[in-house]
């Protein structure tokens, strides 16, 4: 059989649409009886048969369906399917409630999916509170569908169009195969929902303790989805439950997937830190911090206030305090990382704008010049009372070390190790 | 008199009757009825009747895959179906003989 819609398939699809208000399993049974007959007729008439030829032989699909109803003891077509399409004027006011019920469901489903996506992405249970915004819409939708019944919702033109489209697809071989395959996955899907909801709850709980309140809630919804998923074919009202839950799970899975991708993406590229960001130390480069901000260079002075060059720093475990070293990229391309060591102080790196030497004509063009400057940019007045180990009261006679001077007029330094006031030499 | 009018009352009995000897799928049943002379019977009516008898518990069904074309769902008469056939058959025969004698007098 080819995939293109033959006359028989079109005919069957129209019969199916006319029986849309009957239980779907029953409609399948009926069509199973009818199909071999129509296939026979098709074989008789050849593959090029037109729907008109079938209608000439069997009557319209709609009258065929009506005959099936009458002889099969099914409820007549009048009150549901046909009523909505033929008596537009009469049913117009009656459509408002089913329509609100339907679109409320659609809205809540989209909302649930979106919120779950964001919550999964940010792994933040507080986001789930946004779900409550949709709660009134959802409640109204449920109340209405329980009030007017699913049949009225199914009679809406938009739903009939959707059902008819699906029916037409079902009569096509390839689409039907896909749908049957998806159909076999359904029970598994509800289990996936339950597992995903429980996992989501556990994950949130791991991140935020207060989410422990959510966990039983999510598990209950998961179990309810498994329960309702089995029965939704028989009771379409359960769609109001399984559709938002499914959307929530799909959104959460996609969000969680996105979060995972972000997490992996964050880790890797910074391992070889970019060269021109000296302070980007948090991803593996060593960084010195003092009072909350990064320290890029260290200047040391001896007791006389003489700056020390070429000192090597170690921590209390004897590990070198190794920081990335930056230098000028030759000849004048800006600064670049040139290595890592624990030697201080580092030469200062200055970027200056200089008139370009080879500038043609009247325009003076400027170029950025990178210059490394050794030396100490400031001098430090070391307070005289910094003899580390000897308190002022101790009377050590003739100590060779620098002693606290009696003439020291400087106020007692609050922090003896720091230069009291750096005065730039430039 | 329209035969289709008469058929309405006895289609159940006719369908049960053609399934008495041999199981058949929907189109089989239709063909057997036609072959037996019930030309007026409507296609859809037969399929609807089969479903109704099945739901009433008088028929059982099983599916047989078909090499070419769609699978076929066979119906067979079960014990309640046979009882019903016997019962309704008796009713019909007595009704028919009543009608016959009635018409015999009138003719």
User: Which pLDDT does position A426 carry in this prediction?
Assistant: 46
Chain B residue closest in CA terms to A36: B70
Q: How many CA atoms within 13 Å lie on the side-chain side of A25? A: 7
pLDDT of residue A280: 43
Distance CA A328, CA A373 (A): 10
CA distances from A37 to A4, A50, A75, B26, B27 (A): 19, 16, 24, 8, 5
Contact A30/B47 with Cβ under 8 angstroms? yes
At A276 the pLDDT is 44
Question: Which residue does chain B place closest to A72, by CA atoms?
Answer: B48
Is the CB of residue A71 less than 8 Å away from at least one CB of chain B? yes
**Closest to B44 (Cβ–Cβ): which among A35, A40, A67?**
A67
Q: Which of B46, B63, B69 sits opposite A39 (nearest CB)?
A: B69
Q: Estimate to the nearest angstrom the gap between the alpha carbon of A74 and the chain centroid.
A: 49
- Beta strands at B24-25 and B72-77: parallel, antiparallel or unpaired: antiparallel
How crowded is the C-beta side of A333, counted as CA atoms within 13 Å? 8
pLDDT score for B78: 94
Q: Does A69 touch chain B (CB under 8 A)?
A: yes
Instruction: Name the residue facing A72 among B27, B51, B63 (closest C-beta).
Output: B51
Q: Nearest CA to CA, how far is A259 from chain B (Å)?
A: 48
> Nearest C-alpha of chain B: how many angstroms from A123?
50
- The three state secondary structure string of chain B is CCHHHHHHHHHHHHHHHHCCCCCEEHHHHHHHHHHCCCCCCCHHHHHHHHHHHHHCCCEEEEEECCCCCCCEEEEEECHHHHHHHHHHHHHHHHHHHHHHHHHHHHC
Tell me phi and psi for residue B89, to 5 degrees. Answer: -60, -45
Query: How many structural domains compose chain B?
Result: 1
Contact of A57 with chain B, judged by CB distance below 8 Å, is answered with no
Contact between A370 and A350 under an 8 Å Cβ cutoff? The reply is yes
Q: Which residue of A has its CA nearest to B8?
A: A71
| Nearest residue, CB atoms, A58 vs list B43, B49, B63 | B43
CB A32 to CB B71 under 8 A? yes
What element of type H or E holds A373?
Answer: strand A366-373
Closest partner residue to A72 among B30, B48, B63, by Cβ? Answer: B48
Burial class (CB in 10 A: 0-12, 13-18, 19+), A366: exposed
Nearest-CA neighbor of B24 among B4, B54, B3? Answer: B54
Task: Point out which residues pair with A379 in neighbouring strands.
Answer: A423
Task: Return d(Cα A334, Cα A224) in angstroms, integer.
Answer: 63
Strands (E), A297-342: 300-301, 307-308, 311-312, 323-328, 335-341
Q: Which residues of B touch A (CB under 8 A)?
A: 11, 25-27, 30, 42-52, 54-55, 63, 66, 69-73
Q: How big is the A-B interface in CB pairs under 8 Å?
A: 76
Of the candidates A32, A37, A69, the beta carbon closest to that of B48 is on A69
**Backbone region of residue A408 per phi and psi (left: phi > 0; alpha: psi in -120 to 50; beta: other values):** beta
User: CB pairs under 8 A, 24+ apart, for A210-216?
Assistant: A210/A125, A211/A125, A214/A125, A214/A128
Nearest alpha-carbon partner for A368 in A323, A332, A398: A332
* Structural domain for B27, as ranges: 3-106
**B66 vs B79: which has the higher pLDDT:** B79
| ipTM confidence | 0.88
Residues 6 or more apart whose Cβ sits within 8 Å of residue A198 = A215, A218, A219, A222
Tell me how close the Cα of B71 comes to any Cα of chain A, in angstroms.
7
The pLDDT value given to residue A273? 42
The per-residue pLDDT for B29 is 93
B contacts of A71 (beta carbons < 8 Å): 11, 42, 44-49, 52
Q: What residues of chain A, 233 to 292, have a C-beta less than 8 Å from chain B? A: none
Residue B75 has pLDDT above 90, yes or no: yes
Cα distance between residue B45 and residue A54, in whole Å: 17
Nearest CA distance, B107 vs chain A (angstrom): 34
What are A16's two structure tokens? 């199916």
**DSSP annotation string for A254-306:** HHHHHHHHHHHHHHSTTSS--TT-TT--TTSS--EEETTEEE----EE-TTSP
Residues 6+ apart with CB under 8 A from B62: B73, B74, B76
**For chain A, which ranges sit under pLDDT 70?**
1-5, 47, 77-93, 234, 266-286, 330-335, 355-365, 385-426
CATH code for position B96: 1.10.10.10
Q: Does A295 lie at the interface with B, CB-CB under 8 angstroms?
A: no
Asked if A35 and B30 come within 8 Å (Cβ–Cβ), the reply is no
pLDDT of residue A299: 86
pLDDT at A333: 62
- What secondary structure letter does DSSP report for A82? I
pLDDT value of position B1: 65
Contact yes or no for A71 and B30 at CB 8 A: no
pLDDT exceeds cutoff 50 at B86: yes
Provide the mean pLDDT of chain B. Answer: 89
Q: Do A131 and A111 meet the contact criterion of CB atoms below 8 Å apart?
A: yes
On the question of a cis peptide bond just before residue A331, with omega within 30 degrees of 0, the verdict is yes
């Amino acid at each position: 059989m080819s995939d293109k819609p033959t006359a028989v398939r079109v005919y069957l699809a129209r019969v199916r649409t006319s029986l849309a208000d009957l239980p779907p399993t029953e409609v399948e049974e009926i069509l199973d009886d009818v199909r071999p007959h129509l296939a026979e007729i098709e074989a008789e008439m050849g593959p090029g048969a037109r729907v008109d030829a079938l209608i000439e032989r069997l009557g319209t699909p709609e009258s065929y369906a009506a005959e099936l109803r009458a002889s099969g003891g099914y409820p007549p077509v009048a009150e549901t399917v046909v009523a909505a399409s033929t008596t537009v004027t009469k049913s117009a006011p009656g459509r408002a409630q089913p329509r609100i019920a339907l679109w409320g469901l659609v809205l809540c489903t989209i909302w649930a999916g979106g919120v779950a996506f964001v919550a999964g992405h940010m792994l933040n249970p507080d986001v789930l509170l946004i779900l409550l915004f949709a709660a009134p819409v959802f409640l109204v939708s449920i109340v209405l569908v329980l009030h007017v019944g699913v049949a009225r919702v199914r009679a809406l033109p938009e739903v009939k169009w959707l059902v008819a489209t699906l029916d037409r697809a079902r009569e096509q071989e390839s689409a039907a195969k896909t749908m049957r395959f998806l159909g076999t996955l359904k029970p598994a899907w509800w289990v996936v929902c339950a597992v995903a909801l429980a996992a989501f709850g556990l994950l949130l709980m791991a991140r935020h303790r207060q989410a422990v309140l959510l966990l039983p809630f999510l598990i209950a919804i998961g179990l309810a989805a498994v329960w309702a998923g089995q029965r939704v074919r028989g009771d379409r009202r359960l769609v109001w439950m399984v559709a938002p839950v499914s959307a929530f799970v799909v959104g959460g899975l996609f969000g969680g997937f996105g979060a995972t991708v972000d997490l992996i993406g964050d880790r890797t590229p910074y391992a070889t830190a970019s060269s021109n960001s000296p302070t980007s130390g948090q991803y593996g480069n060593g960084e010195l911090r003092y009072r909350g901000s990064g320290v890029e260079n260290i200047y040391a002075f001896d007791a006389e206030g003489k700056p020390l060059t070429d000192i090597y720093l170690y921590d209390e475990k004897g590990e070198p305090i190794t920081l990335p070293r930056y230098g000028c990229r030759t000849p004048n391309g800006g600064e670049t990382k040139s290595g890592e060591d624990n030697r201080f102080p580092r030469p200062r790196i200055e970027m200056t704008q200089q008139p370009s030497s080879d500038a043609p004509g009247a325009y003076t063009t400027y170029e950025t010049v990178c210059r490394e400057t050794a030396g100490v940019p400031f001098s430090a007045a070391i307070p005289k009372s910094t003899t580390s180990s000897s308190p002022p009261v101790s009377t050590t006679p003739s100590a060779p070390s620098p002693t606290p001077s009696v003439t020291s007029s400087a106020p007692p330094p609050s922090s003896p190790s720091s230069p009291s006031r750096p005065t730039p030499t430039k | 008199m329209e035969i289709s009018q008469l058929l309405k009352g006895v289609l159940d009995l006719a369908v049960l009757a053609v399934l008495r000897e041999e199981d058949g799928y929907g189109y089989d049943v239709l063909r057997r009825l036609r072959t037996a002379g019930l030309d007026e019977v409507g296609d859809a009516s037969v399929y609807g009747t089969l479903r109704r008898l099945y739901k009433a518990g008088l028929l059982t069904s099983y599916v047989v895959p078909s090499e070419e074309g769609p699978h076929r769902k066979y119906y067979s008469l079960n014990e309640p179906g046979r009882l019903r056939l016997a019962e309704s058959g008796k009713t019909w025969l007595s009704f028919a003989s009543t009608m016959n004698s009635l018409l015999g007098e009138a003719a």
